[in-house]
Amino acid sequence: MRVRFLPVNNQVILILIVLFIVLFFPGCNREPDELYVSPPVSHPLLREYIGYGVVTSSFSHILIEPGSTETSLGHLRRGTVVRIMERKPVMNRGVSEFWIYGEGNFEGENILRGWLMESDLEVYDSEPRARTASRSMSQ
């Protein structure tokens, strides 16, 4: 029994067709691989902020990045209402501290956005509650 080979050009075309079928078609019927996405520290809500906080210390530095050694953008005084947009744990000397990314009025006129230590704030779920707490601190 003698095996008859196709001419070289036809063999190359046949090999390419077989490779195409083997590599392309099995991928068409497979379901896409599921990709695990870890949730952010701040739970995604349908609103652009998490809640509101009121500065409880005499003043709190607002920083570019969370951490006690970062550059201060300014400070917020006791009773300032802060809109909270993110909450993040940060390790500092082996201890986990929570930091808040928010915005608040700096000396009544400019809005500052940056990171504050959560321990410097009292957190509320709505702006009216935060405003009430802020007014009670100034009395």
Residue-range domains of the chain with CATH: 51-138 (2.30.30.40)
CA angle 55, 139, 50 (to 5 degrees): 30
Residue with tokens 């300032």: 80
Tell whether pTM > 0.75: no
Residue with tokens 């009395």: 139
Residue 11 has pLDDT above 90, yes or no: no
pLDDT in tens, 66-120: 876 668 888 888 999 999 988 888 887 888 888 999 988 766 667 888 999 999 9
Which amino acid is it at 68? S
Most confident listed range (13-27, 61-75, 117-131): 117-131
pLDDT in tens, 29-60: 555 555 555 555 555 444 567 889 999 999 88
pLDDT of the residue at 54 = 93
